Amino acid sequence: MGAYLRAFGWPLGTLFLVVTVAWIAGMIVVPQLTMLERAFVYIDNSDDLTVANTRLNRLTRDIATVALDIRVLERQRDAGGSAGAAPSPTVGVPTVGVPSVSGPSTPRPSVPSVAVPNASGPSAGPATPAVPSVTIPSAALPSPGGAPAADTGQDVEARIAALGERKAALEARLAELETERDRLAEEKAAAPHYSVRNFTTMSEVHLRIFLSTLFYATLVTVIAFVVCYPVAFAVAMSRSGGKTALLLLGLVIPYTINELLRIFAWVMILEREGVLNSLLTALGVFPDGGGPRWVASNWAVFTVMIYAYVLFMVFPLYNTLDTLDRNQIDAARDLGASTFKLHTRIVIPHAKPGIAVGAIMVFMLSAGTIAAPEIVGRGLHPDWFSQVIYRRFFESANWNQGSAYSLMLLLACVIFVMLVMRLFRVSIRDIAK
């Protein structure tokens, strides 16, 4: 710390230290701890408490509807009880279902009493005691197929009384449900808060996608290394400064374009009506113009990712290979070493830190990306786990399970990093070089 402060001076050194600590705490530690807590809190959207809350909401809505009907009838009564218009049908009090009888001479049949169903309706969970049925006076019902029956003052009073009974029954049931809801809430609060159910309840499909994503990311990393190693070696071994600068400029130029635009450019190339099929059609490969839809394949996603992350593999390799003493290569060639032995015994062992850094960066980016698999052939190729996490957060609104999935992906990436460092026998100090 003393050397650090002497190097930068205490004002600049203190400012840099405070900003670094604030950044680590605010952007890494706190969000990750929040996600970690959410991952171990399981929310059951079908438990008894959720069902009770749903019933309460329905019951409250039905009570409000019945109260509105009562107010409408009371206004009719106050206006003389002969407004003639029946109140609008309600959810809790069905007023239809009267048998239709045609013909003016046919006596109007008496309307059977209408048993009002339970306002909470059929639902999952424990059985709900039925709300007492209320009989609506038949004279108050409209005549099907004809003009509404005129309401007399007595009819209106009878209907108000019936609806009042109905409202009282619903309110009694509401009080029972509130008591039950409070009891369930207390039981849930007393239950263990943390669990691993967000992990153990992962469906088989999601688990398969998770494992497939790890395999895909590993495959992208390997392909990126195969593509980038010759380029990095050629640039590092170039004895001409101008040639090296030109090669590096050629690698950097594509990255002056936004990543999304680079991905959409590949969509323009690989779609059925894209540039590639047009070129193949012009060359006579597809005379009828019916080329394949290249984006409907994981290989299209792999290609786009390699193109998007090629620099993250090239530059660590180049930085390491650039430090290789060329005399070793010349000596090996003078001693008759083949190209394969030259690379496997001299170049690659020296480039291990660069390979490790490039592999870690490409794997992490590939495993966590969502833009490429979402844009390139969306729905036409197997999902990536990042898409599943996105849906958990923003389509299912299940942030806790999304946090658990994110934590799983993070742990998988950490394990991959440790395996790579173990495989290449490099340490953090070697990577930092």
Residue 318 CB neighbours (<10 A): 24
- Expressed in percent and rounded to 5, the helix, strand and coil fractions of the chain are 65, 0, 35
Q: Look at residue 168 in the predicted model and tell me its pLDDT.
A: 93
CA distance 216 to 301: 10
Domain spans in the chain, listed from the N-terminal domain onward: 1-43, 199-432
Backbone angles phi, psi at 113, to 5 degrees: -65, 140
Backbone angles phi, psi at 385, to 5 degrees: -65, -30
22 by Cβ neighbours in 10 Å (0-12 / 13-18 / 19+) ranks as exposed
Architecture (CATH level 2) of domain 199-432: Orthogonal Bundle (1.10)
Contact by Cβ (8 Å): 159, 142:
no
CA distance 406 to 397: 14
Q: Look at residue 192 in the predicted model and tell me its pLDDT.
A: 67
CA atoms within 13 A on the CB side of 102: 0
Contact by Cβ (8 Å): 370, 387:
yes
C-alpha closest to that of 356 among 323, 313, 322: 313
CA angle centred on 193, ends 190 and 198, rounded to 5°: 140
38, 133, 183, 188, 216 from 29: Cα distances, Å: 14, 59, 37, 29, 29
Q: What is the DSSP string of 50-99?
A: HHHHHHHHHHHHHHHHHHHHHHHHHHHHHTTS---PPPPP-SSS----PP
129, 278, 424 from 49: Cα distances, Å: 17, 59, 53
For residue 306 the two structure tokens come to 């390699």
CA distance 24 to 21: 5
379 by Cβ neighbours in 10 Å (0-12 / 13-18 / 19+) ranks as exposed
CA distance 157 to 53: 34
The tens-digit pLDDT sequence of the chain (433 residues) is: 777 777 778 888 888 889 999 999 998 899 889 988 888 888 777 778 888 888 889 999 999 999 999 999 988 888 875 444 444 444 444 443 334 433 344 444 443 443 444 444 444 444 444 444 444 444 444 444 444 445 567 788 888 999 999 999 999 999 999 998 888 888 877 776 788 888 888 899 999 999 999 999 999 999 999 999 998 998 888 877 777 787 778 778 878 888 889 899 999 998 888 898 888 888 888 877 777 888 888 888 888 988 888 889 998 999 899 889 888 988 998 998 899 999 999 999 999 889 999 999 999 999 998 888 889 887 888 889 999 999 989 888 888 889 999 999 999 999 998 998 888 888 877 766 6
Contact by Cβ (8 Å): 271, 293:
yes
